[in-house]
A and B are shown apart, each in its own frame.
Chain A
Amino acid sequence: AQTVTQSQPEMSVQEAETVTLSCTYDTSENNYYLFWYKQPPSRQMILVIRQEAYKQQNATENRFSVNFQKAAKSFSLKISDSQLGDTAMYFCAFMRLMNYGGSQGNLIFGKGTKLSVKP
């Protein structure tokens, strides 16, 4: 069974600075996706960024980037130039791929990291 671990329950960062959220996972699968979702106080679940395990290049979306270390099973999220609107719970999630390239698609989530951006 796959597991996702986020070892930082809470973090804080000053506005405009950079912060890195950690995520490790355990799987025997070789093909999978990894995601970071953001959950602001409104409780929506918003996709921040995703990474395909077969891609060596780290994914980037504007101020958000990941450091994907497949051998170490590590998937950290870096937020640059932090903004007040980045304050939220951040969940790391794993999705396995079936052999034919498709997926049942159910996500396995970590417990989340509560990020507070301070003015």
Chain B
Amino acid sequence: EPEVTQTPSHQVTQMGQEVILRCVPISNHLYFYWYRQILGQKVEFLVSFYNNEISEKSEIFDDQFSVERPDGSNFTLKIRSTKLEDSAMYFCASRPDSNQPQHFGDGTRLSIL
């Protein structure tokens, strides 16, 4: 069964550095998402992406964050000037059309030191 894949599984970065989290959605999927889960807390929506543009974003997704689908395969989340509070599990998800549930990747654990 096709899967959403995320790399790396664990990223350790110094505070203030930029980090790029990578995702390869399932190939025929059209809608892409990033979510965040701070340890011990609930999963929070960050951003959705459709037709090569952001379709919706939460208040968490400020100017520090950006997303890109550079080559029709990868879907990346860039976090500029990372802060300690950016430490979390970041999940990528995708779905084929508007009436199907989302498939999640295994997540990237981001640790900011």
Please tell me if B22 contacts chain A, counting CB pairs below 8 Å. Answer: no
Task: For the complex, count residues of A whose C-beta is within 8 A of B.
Answer: 25
With A43-B107, A106-B33, A106-B56: A101-B99 Cβ-Cβ less than 8 Å: yes
Interface residues of B in 44-83 (CB under 8 A from A): 44-45, 48, 55-56, 58
| A-contact bits for B69-113, CB 8 A (1 contact / 0 none) | 000000000000000000001010101011101111011010000
With A45-B91, A47-B101: A104-B43 Cβ-Cβ less than 8 Å: no
Q: Are A107 and B98 in contact (CB under 8 A)?
A: no
With A43-B106, A44-B106, A44-B107: A105-B41 Cβ-Cβ less than 8 Å: no
Closest approach, in angstroms, between the C-beta of A3 and any C-beta of chain B?
A: 11
Question: How far apart are the CA atoms of A93 and B45 in the complex, in Å?
Answer: 11
Question: How far apart are the CA atoms of A91 and B83 in the complex, in Å?
Answer: 27
With A106-B45, A106-B56, A110-B42: A43-B89 Cβ-Cβ less than 8 Å: yes
Q: Are A42 and B31 in contact (CB under 8 A)?
A: no
| B-contact bits for A74-114, CB 8 A (1 contact / 0 none) | 00000000000000000101000010011111111111100
Q: Among the listed B42, B99, B104, which residue makes an inter-chain contact with A112, where contact means beta carbons less than 8 Å apart?
A: B42
B residues contacting A by CB (< 8 A) are 31, 33, 35, 41-45, 48, 55-56, 58, 89, 91, 93, 95, 97-99, 101-104, 106-107, 109
The 6 closest A-B pairs by CB, nearest first: A102-B98, A45-B104, A106-B45, A109-B43, A111-B42, A104-B56
A residues contacting B by CB (< 8 A) are 33, 35, 37, 42-47, 50, 91, 93, 98, 101-112
